[in-house]
């Protein structure tokens, strides 16, 4: 009768193998079309495998308006996370930026470009700056549910920008903010809440709450930088949407 020899080394190898497989990070196998244009060149759709944090395929359309005229439009495709699929817009009186995003969850489902859309008045109002007068009323459009005040470095000078913005535009990361040369940006909710007096009060309240670690608010600390696009425009749009 043959005896089975038990080698502890084999057992340890098997245990290590199983443990290693169990601890391996899950790989997201979602595939999407990617098309990352520059401001003066088009691009071609290329299949790509998404990173684990990207669970959607997206088509993006970005438009810049000056008055009633559309002066710039950019379309592209890439992998997206669900939180980035909302899209958004920003208006500052004479200028408007609109990000239209269409998301889906199947492999290579982003075959079509993001649909175009016109925004309508939503009943909210904020202040915007016309020259040095930052008390002019502005009607907000679409999903613009925040009023914004930003200080932007432009040609060696600081310039105040005010207007209406969507939640998405108030939550962009710090990298984008620095690239846009935005020194500070605050977002608030409520009609005409971006007046100088209310903005200062909200900033002080926010800083006090943060010091006490009682809440996190956007006033005075929001990291969105897209107001700067109205000044720096085309070269930095790819940083926001296609990086």
Please provide the distance, in angstroms rounded to a whole number, between the alpha carbons at the two ends of the chain.
67
Give the start-to-end residue ranges of the domains of the chain. Answer: 31-241
CATH class belonging to 31-241? mainly beta
Q: What is the pLDDT of residue 69?
A: 83
Please state the rounded mean pLDDT for residues 85-100: 86
Most confident segment among 77-91, 100-114, 140-154: 100-114
Q: What is the share, in percent, of the chain residues with pLDDT greater than 70?
A: 63
- Asked if 123 contacts 170 with a C-beta cutoff of 8 angstroms, the reply is no
**Model-level pTM?**
0.67
Look at 54 and 12; give whichever has higher pLDDT: 54
Q: What is the share, in percent, of the chain residues with pLDDT greater than 90?
A: 26
Average pLDDT taken over every residue of the chain: 74
- Asked if 30 contacts 79 with a C-beta cutoff of 8 angstroms, the reply is yes
- For residue 21, give the DSSP letter: H
Look at 241 and 38; give whichever has higher pLDDT: 38
- For residue 82, give the DSSP letter: G
- Asked if 139 contacts 125 with a C-beta cutoff of 8 angstroms, the reply is yes
- Window from 52-56, 192-196, 232-236 with minimum mean pLDDT: 232-236
How many Cβ atoms are within 10 Å of 7's Cβ, its own excluded?
A: 8
pLDDT band at 89 (very low <50, low <70, confident <90, very high): confident
Encoding tokens for residue 152?
Answer: 């932007």
Q: What is the pLDDT of residue 152?
A: 79
- Which residues have a Cβ under 8 Å from the Cβ of 103 and sit 6 or more positions away? 56, 57, 58, 80, 82, 85, 110
Q: Give residue-wise pLDDT tens across range 171-226.
A: 765 445 554 556 678 889 999 999 877 655 555 565 665 566 544 454 333 333 33
pLDDT band at 39 (very low <50, low <70, confident <90, very high): low
Q: Which of 223, 237, 238, 187 is nearest to 64 (CA)?
A: 237
- Asked if 194 contacts 185 with a C-beta cutoff of 8 angstroms, the reply is no
> How far is the C-alpha of 83 from the C-alpha of 146, rounded, in Å?
18
pLDDT band at 236 (very low <50, low <70, confident <90, very high): very low
């Amino acid at each position: 009768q043959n005896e089975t020899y038990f080698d502890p080394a084999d057992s340890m190898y098997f245990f290590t193998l199983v443990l290693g497989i169990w601890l391996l990070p899950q790989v997201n196998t979602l595939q999407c079309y990617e098309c990352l244009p520059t401001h003066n060149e088009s691009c071609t759709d290329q299949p790509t495998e998404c990173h684990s944090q990207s669970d959607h395929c997206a088509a993006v359309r970005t438009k810049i308006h000056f008055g009633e005229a559309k002066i710039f439009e950019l379309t592209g495709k890439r992998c997206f996370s669900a939180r980035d699929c909302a899209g958004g817009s920003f208006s500052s009186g004479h200028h408007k930026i609109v990000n239209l995003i269409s998301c889906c969850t199947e492999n290579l489902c982003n075959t079509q470009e993001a649909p175009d859309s016109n925004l309508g008045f939503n009943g909210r109002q904020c202040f915007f700056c016309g020259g040095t007068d930052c008390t002019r009323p502005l009607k907000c459009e679409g999903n613009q549910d925040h009023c914004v005040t930003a200080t932007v470095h432009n040609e060696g000078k600081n310039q105040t920008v005010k207007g209406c913005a969507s939640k998405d535009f108030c939550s962009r990361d710090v990298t984008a903010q620095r690239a846009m040369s935005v020194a500070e940006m605050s977002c608030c909710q409520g009609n005409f809440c971006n007046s100088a007096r209310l903005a200062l009060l909200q900033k002080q309240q926010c800083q006090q709450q943060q010091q006490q670690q009682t809440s996190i608010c956007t006033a005075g600390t929001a990291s969105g930088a897209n107001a700067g696009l109205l000044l720096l425009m085309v070269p930095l749009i790819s940083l926001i949407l296609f990086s």
